[in-house]
Structure 1
Amino acid sequence: MTLRLRLLLAFAFLSIVTAVAVSGAGYVRARDAIVQRAQDNAVIETTNRVEQLYPLPARPPDSAALERIAGKVSGREGAALAQANGVSAGSMDPSVITPELRSLVSSGRVGWQRVPYGGGVWLVVGMRMQVSGGAPSDVEVYVMRPFSSEIEVVSELARNAWLIGGAGLLLALGMAFLAARGVLRPVRELQVAAWRLGQGDLAARVPVRGRDELAAVATTFNSTASSLEHHVGELRRMEADARRFVADVSHELRTPLAAMTAVTDVLDAETAALPGVAGQAARLVNRETQNLTRLVNDLIEVTRFDSGTAALALDDVDVAEVVSRTLRMRGFEVTATLPSGVRARLDPRRLDVIVANLVGNALRHGAPPVTVSLSVADSSLVIEVADSGPGLPAEVLPHVFARFYKADSARGRSEGSGLGLAIAWENARLHDGTLIAANRPGGGALFTLRLPLGGER
């Protein structure tokens, strides 16, 4: 349920409760007052008419006397009944007199009661008349008066109460809509700004209106965003400086490394003629120079990816031939399943780098036999490199393509640069492909490379 709907429902519930409480209480009080006043007036009027007949004779009245009494107290709109000693007379239907009212009048008190009659509501008033000296007589008088006008007034009050309640509900809903709009607009602006911030737009800000709690939230958000923008800017500047430093150092190292490589190649050719310790030192220098050259080349390649200058040199190639050449040139002893006739448009140099890094990693850190398989699935080129080693620990899998990541923190250094798998992953991404690391059910690591056959970017 949205916040707008909750606000509207809350205002509607509050307005309904308020309308029921105010209108209902007003209606009940007004209805009771109208009914009470009508009953009091009817009782007073009937009492006055009866008092005009006093004093009554002491002798019991006959039927004619009762008819005369009923006619005197009935009035123009009502009907009356006078009775004594079982004799009754008048225009009123005796059946409307309830036993409760008869019992009350028989006890000498004035009573009244509303009763339904003839499709309407009537007020029946009854009392016992007195004879000379104030003693109660046997004559009971009942007067029936229409109560329709009072009922109409009460009905009109009920309609007015409903109308007032409905108008109050509409007004409350309108106020709720305006309030929700005023409250939710800053919330929506904050949501949009937070989304923009999450998408990398660090310049996203929220307009600050007023001095309420929402304005305080907007101010805090803007302050946080400004601080984040500043810190991210500093981090980006430091990262750019670090990348530039690595690129500069790598390029500067290439010239002395070229000279060192030339010297070590000469030494390597003469190692057989050198005495024991000198030969070992020459071989060590040659090997370490090659490792340093490989590290510098990998660093230069990484800086190209980071700067966005890495580009594909696409060509229509036989994939099996490219992979076979990679394995043959590096002397990798693996089991290869490379069906012929699989052609794709890709960068053969970068595919060579990917396969060489994957197979070299499997041979260094896995266990033989290492297998390389080529297939086509769902218009994608699929190359799988698997080994028979212990596999990759679960905590290593999320970081296997991270730069300079070492699964064994106790291992100070390795033959590789620590960038091989990262460069393979970047080359796969450059082809709009994927490179995934996993463990085989039977043991061993499995790297799966997927590249589009068309080489679209």
Structure 2
Amino acid sequence: MRGIFQRPGGGGAGIGLNRDTSDGVSIRTGIRWKLSTAIALVGALVAIALSLVVHNAARVSMLDNSRDLADERIQLAQRMYGPGRPPPFGAKIDDPAIPADLLAKVTEGRRATYVSDGPHGVPDIWAAVPLRDGRVLSWHERFTDRNADVMKDLDQALIIGSIAVVFGGSALGVLIGGQLSRRLRKAASAANQVAKGETDVRVREAIGGVVRDETDDLARAVDAMADALQQRIEAERRVTADIAHELRTPVTGLLTAAELLPPGRPTELVRDRAQAMRTLVEDVLEVARLDGASERAELQDIMLGEFVSRRVAVKDADVDVRVVHESEVTTDPRRLERVLFNLLANASRHGKPPIEVTVEGRVIRVRDHGPGFPEALLAEGPSRFRTGSSDRAGHGHGLGLTIAAGQARVLGARLTFRNVRPAGAPDDVPAEGAVAVLWLPEHAPTNTGSYPMLPASGK
């Protein structure tokens, strides 16, 4: 039953319609798809709500019109009906199918209309009026096909409009989200370049655009943070360099004074410590220069295998050098020698013999058979004044590998570290050695500001 409507002075009940919908939405990661999905969902909810409102309003309006028509016909039929004449317009006297609620209202002396659910969900329109002789004149018809067609066309238009809203909202979300996503990707790329030490990169300039939004605020904050960190690092580097520079004179004087002491064990200890302090001061100064990014390589063409073999033979004749493939490279021989000697010194100090050096094309590998590199070094790279675990780095100041990594950066090379374990062995199995690999670039490192050294005349 839908409700009872009275004319005149009669009350009426409204029409309600519930529709259950279940939408499966696949949400992809990323701002573009999240924003597109959010806009599409909001658009779908709004479209469904408006469609329901419009559908119900149109249905109620049509039923009201049908009720008014039924009320007019039952009044006209009442006026035209008389003794000896049949009821006009298909009206009936005391129709047994008249709904009980409508009959109850009519027996009270009121003219009323009524809407009930018919077969297949098609509403039935009733109108009834009491006669003077106590009988009931009623008129009944189904919701017309024309009205049903109008509602069907309206529902189709609402469905098409809802789909258009959803797809339009999705397209708008992809457009807006794509623009925001591109800006964020540019900001992330610029931030990664800053993290790699490219101090001239500005995140705000990288994202571009003339519209200021939260992305610009984030970029400006990152730029401000990078500037503050750079200033702090530069201040620390200058302090370190100044301290090391100021220590050079007294340490040199101390070393000279130690040479004047009489021979003996105490003199040897003083000389050894003074020399160690001088080496430390020089290493700290070199690290400070490398951190300042002011170092430039002086490039020469060398045969890498021959160069490594000669230098290692002078440094330590017990080191085994194997040249798998000879190659001509353009690099700075002095800095390459510094890297090579530091790697050999680290292997000799913290590893175990035999120490092996392999040259294969542009790649140099230095391997020892000790306990391997500390996990912190493998994860984060060399760090000054951190010697790692007592197994491998119980001595020294942690500057050797730091200098090697810095010099490799000036050469445009890449320095990697790994431990050697049996094939298929888990990480908790002790290492059988450590390998440092220097990957020299295929082309001269002009991006580091290096310049070629001109050969001497006559050569």
TM-score band w.r.t. shorter chain: 0.5 to 0.7
One-letter amino acid of the structure 2 residue matched with residue 314 of structure 1: L
One-letter amino acid of the structure 1 residue matched with residue 53 of structure 2: V
Q: Does 1:300 align with 2:281?
A: no
Offset, 1:352: 1.0
Answer whether contact 2:344 2:366 (CA < 8 A) is retained: yes
Q: Distance in 2 between matches of 1:412 and 1:386?
A: 16
| 1:314 partner SS | strand
Q: Distance in 1 between matches of 2:177 and 2:247?
A: 60
Q: Distance in 1 between matches of 2:393 and 2:373?
A: 19
Q: Does 1:344 align with 2:329?
A: yes
Q: Which residue of structure 1 lines up, in the alignment, with residue 316 of structure 2?
A: 331
Offset, 1:428: 1.6
| 2:264 partner SS | helix
Answer whether contact 1:31 1:154 (CA < 8 A) is retained: no
Answer whether contact 1:27 1:158 (CA < 8 A) is retained: no
One-letter amino acid of the structure 2 residue matched with residue 241 of structure 1: A
**Structure 2 residue corresponding to 1:25, chosen from 53, 56, 74:** 56
Offset, 1:249: 3.3
Deviations 1:368-417 (A, max 9, x none): 111111112xxxx1111111112224344224511111113799973x44
Q: Which residue of structure 2 lines up, in the alignment, with residue 317 of structure 1?
A: 302
Offset, 1:309: 1.7
**Structure 2 residue corresponding to 1:406, chosen from 371, 387, 402:** 387
Q: Normalised by the size of structure 2, how large is the TM-score?
A: 0.62
Structure 1 pair 313–231 and aligned structure 2 pair: CA distance change class (3 A): closer
Q: Which residue of structure 2 lines up, in the alignment, with residue 426 of structure 1?
A: 406
Q: Does 1:449 align with 2:429?
A: no
Q: CA RMSD in A?
A: 5.4
Q: Which residue of structure 2 lines up, in the alignment, with residue 436 of structure 1?
A: 416
Q: Distance in 2 between matches of 1:160 and 1:400?
A: 69
Q: Which residue of structure 1 lines up, in the alignment, with residue 363 of structure 2?
A: 382
Q: Which residue of structure 2 lines up, in the alignment, with residue 355 of structure 1?
A: 340
Answer whether contact 2:363 2:439 (CA < 8 A) is retained: yes
Answer whether contact 2:408 2:414 (CA < 8 A) is retained: yes
Q: Which residue of structure 2 lines up, in the alignment, with residue 237 of structure 1?
A: 231
Q: Which residue of structure 2 lines up, in the alignment, with residue 13 of structure 1?
A: 44
Answer whether contact 1:15 1:172 (CA < 8 A) is retained: no
Q: Does 1:281 align with 2:261?
A: no
| 1:35 partner SS | helix
Deviations 1:334-390 (A, max 9, x none): 2221358432211111111111111111111111111111112xxxx1111111112
Q: Does 1:251 align with 2:251?
A: no
Answer whether contact 2:321 2:356 (CA < 8 A) is retained: yes
Answer whether contact 2:417 2:437 (CA < 8 A) is retained: yes
Answer whether contact 2:81 2:88 (CA < 8 A) is retained: no
Q: Which residue of structure 2 lines up, in the alignment, with residue 397 of structure 1?
A: 378
More RCO (CA 8 Å, sep 6+): 2
Farther-moved stretch of structure 1 (237-246 vs 150-159): 150-159
Offset, 1:222: 5.3
Residues 159-238 of structure 1 aligned to structure 2 (within 5 Å): 159=153, 165=158, 191=184, 195=188, 198=191, 200=194, 201=202, 233=227, 235-238=229-232
Answer whether contact 2:417 2:436 (CA < 8 A) is retained: yes
Identity between Structure 1 and Structure 2 (%): 23
Farther-moved stretch of structure 1 (167-176 vs 316-325): 167-176
One-letter amino acid of the structure 1 residue matched with residue 439 of structure 2: R
One-letter amino acid of the structure 1 residue matched with residue 245 of structure 2: H
Which segments of 5 or more consecutive residues in structure 2 lack a partner in the other structure? 1-26, 28-32, 107-123, 127-132, 195-201, 423-431, 447-459
Deviations 1:49-92 (A, max 9, x none): 451636xxxxxxxxxxxxxx8xxx779xx9x9xxxxxxxxxxxx
Answer whether contact 1:294 1:417 (CA < 8 A) is retained: no
One-letter amino acid of the structure 1 residue matched with residue 46 of structure 2: S
Answer whether contact 1:243 1:303 (CA < 8 A) is retained: yes
Offset, 1:422: 0.8
Q: How many residues align?
A: 372
Structure 1 pair 197–327 and aligned structure 2 pair: CA distance change class (3 A): closer
Q: Distance in 2 between matches of 1:353 and 1:307?
A: 18
Structure 1 pair 197–289 and aligned structure 2 pair: CA distance change class (3 A): same
Offset, 1:420: 0.8
Decide which structure has the larger Cα Rg and report it. Answer: 1
| 2:61 partner SS | helix
Answer whether contact 1:366 1:388 (CA < 8 A) is retained: yes
| 1:311 partner SS | coil
| 1:25 partner SS | helix
Deviations 1:282-312 (A, max 9, x none): 2223222322232222222212211222111
Q: Normalised by the size of structure 1, how large is the TM-score?
A: 0.62
Which segments of 5 or more consecutive residues in structure 1 lack a partner in the other structure? 55-68, 81-96, 111-122, 126-133, 137-142, 210-214, 268-273
| 2:440 partner SS | strand
Structure 1 pair 22–395 and aligned structure 2 pair: CA distance change class (3 A): same
| 1:432 partner SS | coil
Q: Distance in 2 between matches of 1:185 and 1:449?
A: 41
